[in-house]
């Protein structure tokens, strides 16, 4: 579904996460990409008939990770320890990093460090077959939905940081349409399945209202 970026050689921040060909999830991803190409986002995010909700959320979570990976990859040289000393989304919102395992107490860090921690953490979750099984017949864990919600909540913060701190750079790079389409798709998806608490979306609420109502 990352057709948004065309075939040009796009630099990613982390290695792209591929869904193995020949798997049901790969077929689902292809189907989603085809529907997305039609331009109807409400239709594109809806659970296809007869499909498993966890599997659908898993495929889309991988895709959003890849999209954000590419978007952030375009601006890494501008998001530095000096320019972004804290991970923020405008003056009112600042994020501190904790993963609950190696970093239990939230730490204040620069945006590039926070996003590096965040994307590495997401990558580890996506690569864990017990959390994101790619083989048919392997069940998703009982707490899969809460894992996916945490991942998506954190991925949202990268969109929020890019919009608040680097949007003019995105415009300069000609990536504005890619960012808007990707974020709109993300918002329609999390809205469809109530995956992110409204309070978490506050930093971009005005933009979200604009996308949803137009």
Contact 158, 118 (CB under 8 A): yes
Question: Which letter, b or e, does each residue of 74-99 get, where b requires 16 or more Cβ atoms within 10 Å of its Cβ?
Answer: bbeebbeeeebeebbbeeebebebeb
Dihedral sign, CA of 69, 72, 76, 79? negative
Lowest mean pLDDT among 3-7, 30-34, 177-181, 202-206: 3-7
Q: Residue 3's pLDDT is what?
A: 37
Q: Cα–Cα distance between 58 and 200 in angstroms, integer?
A: 21
pLDDT in tens, 7-64: 344 566 677 788 777 778 888 888 777 776 667 888 889 999 999 999 999 999 999 9
Alpha-carbon distance of 57 to 53, in angstroms, equals 6
Percent above pLDDT 70 for the chain = 92
Is 161 annotated as ligand-binding? yes
Cα–Cα nearest to 89, from 153, 172, 156: 156
Residue 212 has pLDDT above 70, yes or no: yes
The total number of residues written for the chain in this structure: 214
Residue 79 annotated as binding?
yes
Domains of the chain with CATH codes: 20-213 (1.20.140.30)
pLDDT of residue 37: 66
Q: Is 166 annotated as a binding residue?
A: yes
Residues 185-198 have a mean pLDDT of 96
Say whether pLDDT at 79 is over 60.
yes
* Residue 185 is labelled as binding a ligand: no
- Phi, psi for 87 (deg, rounded to 5): -85, 105
Mean pLDDT, all residues of the chain:
88
Place of tokens 């594109």: 44
Least confident of 5-9, 108-112, 196-200: 5-9
- What is the C-alpha to C-alpha distance for residues 57 and 147, in angstroms, rounded to an integer? 11
1-10, 118-127, 168-177: least confident range: 1-10
**Position 6 pLDDT exceeds 60:** no
Given a cut of 90, whether residue 202 has pLDDT beyond it is yes
Q: How would residue 1 be classed by pLDDT, with cut points 50, 70 and 90?
A: very low
The pLDDT value given to residue 11: 60
């Amino acid at each position: 579904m990352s057709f948004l970026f065309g075939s040009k050689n796009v630099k990613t921040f982390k290695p792209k996460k591929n869904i193995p060909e020949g798997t049901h999830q790969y077929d689902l991803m292809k189907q989603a990409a085809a529907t997305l190409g039609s331009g109807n986002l409400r239709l594109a995010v809806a659970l296809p008939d007869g499909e498993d909700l966890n599997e659908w959320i898993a495929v889309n979570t991988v895709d959003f990770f890849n999209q954000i990976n590419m978007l952030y990859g375009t601006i890494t040289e501008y998001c530095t320890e000096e320019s972004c000393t804290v991970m923020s989304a405008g003056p009112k919102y600042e994020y501190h990093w904790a993963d609950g395992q190696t970093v239990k107490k939230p730490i204040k860090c620069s945006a590039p460090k926070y996003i590096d921690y965040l994307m590495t953490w997401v990558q580890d979750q996506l690569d864990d077959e017990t959390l994101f099984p790619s083989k048919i017949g392997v069940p998703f864990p009982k707490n899969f939905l809460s894992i996916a919600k945490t991942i998506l909540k954190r991925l949202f913060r990268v969109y929020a940081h890019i919009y608040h701190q680097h949007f003019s750079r995105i415009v300069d790079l000609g990536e504005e349409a890619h960012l808007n389409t990707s974020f709109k798709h993300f918002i329609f998806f999390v809205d469809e399945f109530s995956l992110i608490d409204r309070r978490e979306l506050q930093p971009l609420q005005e933009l979200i209202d604009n996308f949803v109502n137009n």
